[in-house]
């Protein structure tokens, strides 16, 4: 019996040791991919697949001295060019002045590539997977598995040589693919991209002074939050909705953001639908219409809407 007990203990130690090593390898890959998108000069194209839609982009990034700059160009005619220089993000509109916000990354790019590692480790386990060939390059799989139920999982394929992301799949809790981010062309260079030189020195507007949030927060209460989420104290104003909003909350777990809007009821049927990984849930009552928008399951969106009092 003692010999059997000792054998079981040895097996447990081997399993635990193997899991710890897999986790270390996974987080090392995570560090590698974050380094690649922040430190390399590159010119790449990618497509975002969700549902039956495909959106294509060109993404150019450069580092010169202490300055970092990147340009996201939609290859579809309806898109808007987005430029980031260090901590300022510019939406370059053709018929209006540039819209300026603050941020250390372009929000339209996959957030997990830029979010602080400490935030990701609180939400996910990282496990290195198998190697494969993707677009003629050797690719290493990295699985980010949510620690809590109801949160999305991510599978990343990294270029084995550079660590650059080649593909990112967003998976539901049931392991169903909701969105796919796929690189179609990649060029990494030691030289700063020529196409970014003029943008690096161009005169661009400064962001407006931070104004207090004007949407009334006392009209209603949000009595429940999904695990790991917190309420952003002063979300950005939404001037396009200012006349119709009764209450508004912006929630974040550090990686994802969810908006909850309260408006007067239009007396339409309650609706729920999904745009890729983004859920849009509209709950209609006699007096109020509550809309939840964000990368959460329909069930969590329904619980948020029900938590408005």
Q: What is the pLDDT of residues 71-115, one digit of tens each?
A: 999 998 677 999 999 999 999 988 788 889 889 999 999 999 999
The predicted pLDDT at position 8 comes to 52
CATH assignment of the domain containing 260: 3.30.200.100
Contact 249, 257 (CB under 8 A): no
User: Can you list the alpha helix ranges (DSSP code H) found in 175-273?
Assistant: 194-201
> Is the dihedral angle over the CA atoms 290, 303, 148, 153 positive or is it negative?
negative
For every residue of 40-95, DSSP letters joined together read -EEEEEEEEEETTEEEEEEEEEEEETTEEEEEEEESSTT--EEEEETTEEEEE-SS
The tokens describing 74, both together, are: 């939609």
Q: Which of 180, 201, 222 is the last residue of a domain?
A: 201
The predicted pLDDT at position 212 comes to 52
Q: Which residues pair with 289 in a beta bridge?
A: 263, 284
Pick the more confident residue, 85 or 214.
85
Contact 60, 287 (CB under 8 A): no
- With vertex at residue 76, the alpha carbon angle to CA 72 and CA 79, rounded to the nearest 5 degrees, is 55
Q: Are residues 44 and 109 in the same domain?
A: yes
The predicted pLDDT at position 15 comes to 47
Q: Are residues 194 and 237 in the same domain?
A: no
Q: What is the domain range of residue 151? A: 21-201
Region 130-148: what's the mean pLDDT?
A: 93
The predicted pLDDT at position 94 comes to 82
DSSP, res 308: B
The predicted pLDDT at position 149 comes to 80
Give residue-wise pLDDT tens across range 233-271: 766 665 556 567 888 899 999 899 999 999 999 888 999
Q: How many domains does the chain have?
A: 2
Q: Are residues 266 and 179 in the same domain?
A: no
Name the pTM for this structure.
Answer: 0.85
C-alpha closest to that of 108 among 139, 76, 135, 153 = 76
CA atoms of 309 and 302, how far apart (whole Å): 14
The predicted pLDDT at position 289 comes to 94
The predicted pLDDT at position 129 comes to 95
């Amino acid at each position: 019996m003692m010999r059997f007990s000792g054998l079981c203990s040895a097996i447990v130690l081997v399993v635990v040791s193997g899991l710890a090593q897999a986790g270390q390898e996974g987080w090392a890959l995570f560090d590698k991919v974050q380094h690649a998108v922040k430190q390399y000069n590159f010119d790449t194209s990618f497509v975002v697949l969700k549902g039956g839609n495909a959106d294509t982009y060109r993404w150019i990034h450069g580092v010169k001295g202490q300055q970092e700059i990147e340009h996201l160009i939609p290859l579809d005619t309806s898109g808007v060019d987005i430029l980031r220089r260090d901590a300022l993000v510019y939406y370059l509109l053709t018929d209006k002045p540039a819209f300026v916000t603050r941020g250390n990354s372009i929000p339209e790019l996959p957030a997990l590539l830029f979010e602080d590692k400490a935030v990701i480790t609180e939400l996910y386990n990282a496990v290195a997977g198998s190697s494969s060939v993707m677009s003629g390059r050797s690719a290493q799989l990295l699985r980010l598995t949510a620690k809590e139920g109801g949160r999305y999982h991510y599978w990343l394929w990294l270029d084995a040589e550079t660590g650059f992301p080649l593909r990112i799949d967003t998976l539901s809790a049931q392991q169903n693919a909701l969105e796919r981010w796929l690189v179609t062309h990649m060029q990494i260079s030691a030289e700063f991209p020529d196409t970014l030189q003029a943008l690096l020195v161009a005169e661009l507007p400064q962001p407006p002074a931070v104004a207090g949030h004007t949407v009334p927060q006392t009209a209603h209460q949000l009595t429940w939050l999904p695990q790991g989420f917190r309420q952003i104290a002063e979300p950005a104003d939404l001037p396009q909705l200012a006349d119709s909003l009764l209450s508004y909350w912006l929630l974040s777990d550090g990686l994802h953001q969810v908006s909850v809007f309260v408006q007067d009821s239009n007396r339409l049927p309650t609706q729920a639908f999904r745009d890729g990984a983004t859920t849009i849930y509209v709950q209609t009552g006699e007096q109020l219409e509550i809309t939840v928008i964000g990368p959460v399951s329909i069930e969590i969106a329904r619980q948020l809407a029900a938590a408005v009092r």
